[in-house]
């Protein structure tokens, strides 16, 4: 087991690290706690909505709240993030309306928000593709600033342990390295790629892959929001200064199924979950907040009430969502007029008109 960088133990005790320490105010701590509570609630509600038939599918983030909130809160507004389909927590930190995430998994859109409005790309479902987009975007930042100048901004690309086996991810490492692109590769190693354990993807700790590509890699306790925040900030700062890419391996665990269609009881044992329940990312922050007096019970109660109202809002918004008009599938196939799409759209309208008439 490689060294796991940790600033907050599962018991809620603060650790210090000579290189990656973090100065953080009580207010910031409370904010991280609130973020994690609310995205966990989003996840729970979405899961329930899927079970009620309101969503077609949901990929739960349960257990990965600290990895996503820590990384997301390390970003500045002008940075840009490229997510997978499980980054609901990062979406939250980028100001994406959570209802639009429900829209995607309800099947009313394949996107749901304007990436440019949030500097947050659309979720990528084909595993690992987005890592190359991230490097390209970072190469654009370099060109905006002038090659050889500090780019001033950075890109973060999310992916998982399974994606580390994809060709595109390895190509992205090469491109980022030789271009010294301002990108942070943020791997949430949640131990499972659907049914396949980490041992099917790698024989060495994932963070060590970075060395072979020529940039630093670091493993952090992915259930420790403070450590994730500290490490990701450092990596992003490095990129913004023009010192190139790095890899952060957030060592965490997928507490839920791969998606609501999955059945983990077929491939993993309950005892493993028990071990990870003891490392819950939110409990340790709660313990630390209460013990240090950075928050009291009434704050926890406020967050709980906010969470309940948020849940009600999500349920109502989801159920109120209407299906798109049939011709929506034609609307944005191309940016410029396209004779075939126009012709087929007209035919469809006539056909449906006749059907209704």
* 349 near another protein (CB under 8 A): no
| Catalytic status, residue 18 | no
Q: Which of 30, 73, 238, 258 is catalytic?
A: 258
State yes or no: is 118 an active-site residue. no
What number of chain residues touch another protein (CB under 8 A)? 46
Find the largest Cα–Cα distance for the chain. 75
Query: In angstroms, what is the minimal distance from the CB of 27 to another protein?
Result: 34
3-state secondary structure of 82: strand
Phi, psi angle pair for 353, to nearest 5°: -60, -45
Binding another protein by CB under 8 A: which of 30, 34, 133, 258? 133
Residue (147 or 352) nearer to another protein, CB: 147
Least Å distance, CB 137 to another protein, is 4
Quick one: three-class SS letters along 88-110?
HHHHHHCCCCHHHHHHHHHCCCC
Encode burial over 35-60: b for 16+ CB neighbours within 10 A, e otherwise.
Answer: bbbbbbbbbbbbbebbeeebbeebbb
Is 236 a binder of another protein (CB under 8 A)? no
Among the listed residues 80, 109, 108, 111, the one whose alpha carbon sits nearest the alpha carbon of residue 94: 80
Any idea what the Cα angle at residue 324 is, between residues 319 and 329, rounded to 5°?
145
From the list 175, 98, 95, 119, the residue with the least C-alpha distance to 142 is: 175
Of the residues 66, 102, 138, 230, which one makes contact with another protein according to CB under 8 A: 138
> How does DSSP classify residue 335?
S
Q: Is 229 a residue that touches another protein (CB under 8 A)?
A: no
Q: Is residue 136 a contact residue for another protein (CB under 8 A)?
A: yes
- The single residue among 313, 331, 349, 352 that binds another protein, judged by CB under 8 A, is 331
Judged by CB under 8 A, which stretch of 31-39, 131-139, 263-271, 280-288 contacts another protein?
Answer: 131-139
Window 281 to 320, contacts with another protein (CB under 8 A): none
CB of 167 to another protein, least distance (A): 6
Structure tokens belonging to residue 302: 């406020």
**Which element (helix H / strand E) includes 247?**
strand 246-251
- The rounded distance, in Å, linking the Cα atoms of 32 and 54 is 29
Interaction between residue 108 and another protein (CB under 8 A): no
| Strand (E) or helix (H) holding 299 | helix 297-320
Indicate if 137 belongs to the active site: no
**Residue 322 in the binding site for another protein (CB under 8 A):** no
Smallest separation (angstroms) from another protein to the CB of 133:
4
**Subset of 66-105 contacting another protein (CB under 8 A):** 82
**Using the rule CB under 8 A, which residue among 172, 236, 250, 303 binds another protein?**
172
Footprint of another protein on residues 42-61 (CB under 8 A)?
none
Q: Within 10 Å of residue 90's Cβ, how many Cβ atoms?
A: 29
Binding site for another protein (CB under 8 A): 82, 109-111, 114-117, 121-122, 124, 126, 129, 131-141, 143-144, 146-147, 155, 167-168, 171-172, 174-175, 178, 331-336, 338-341
Please give the positions annotated as active site. 254, 258, 267
């Amino acid at each position: 087991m490689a060294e796991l960088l940790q600033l907050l133990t599962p018991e809620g005790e603060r650790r210090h690290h000579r290189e990656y320490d973090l100065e953080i105010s009580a207010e910031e701590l409370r904010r991280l706690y609130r973020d994690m509570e609310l995205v966990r609630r989003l996840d729970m509600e979405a899961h329930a909505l899927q079970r009620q038939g309101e969503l077609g599918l949901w990929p739960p983030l349960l257990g990965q709240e600290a990895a996503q909130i820590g990384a997301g809160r390390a970003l500045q507004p002008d940075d840009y993030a490229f997510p997978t389909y499980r980054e609901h927590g990062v979406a939250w930190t980028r100001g994406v309306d959570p209802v639009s995430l429900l829209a995607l998994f309800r099947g009313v859109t394949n996107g749901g928000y304007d990436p440019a409005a949030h500097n947050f790309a659309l979720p990528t479902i084909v595993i690992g593709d987005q890592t190359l987009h991230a490097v390209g975007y970072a190469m654009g930042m370099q060109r905006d600033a002038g090659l050889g100048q500090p780019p001033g901004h950075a890109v973060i690309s999310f992916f998982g342990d399974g994606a580390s086996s994809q060709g595109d991810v390895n190509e992205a490492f090469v491109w980022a390295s030789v271009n010294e692109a301002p990108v942070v590769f943020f791997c949430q190693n949640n131990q499972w790629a659907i049914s396949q354990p980490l041992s099917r993807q790698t024989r060495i700790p994932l963070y060590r892959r970075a060395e072979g590509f020529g940039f630093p890699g670091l493993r952090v306790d992915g259930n420790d929001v403070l450590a994730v925040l500290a490490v990701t900030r450092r990596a992003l700062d490095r990129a913004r200064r023009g010192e190139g890419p790095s890899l952060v391996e957030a060592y965490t665990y997928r507490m839920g199924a791969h998606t609501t269609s999955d059945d983990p009881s077929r491939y993993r044992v309950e005892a493993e979950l028990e071990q990870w329940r003891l490392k819950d990312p939110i409990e340790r922050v709660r313990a630390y907040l209460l013990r240090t007096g950075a928050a009291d019970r009434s704050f926890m109660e406020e967050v709980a009430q906010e969470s309940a109202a948020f849940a009600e809002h999500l349920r109502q918004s989801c159920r109120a969502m209407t299906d798109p008009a049939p011709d929506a599938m034609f609307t944005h196939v191309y940016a410029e007029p396209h004779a075939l799409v126009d012709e087929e759209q007209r035919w469809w309208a006539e056909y449906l008109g006749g059907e209704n008439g």
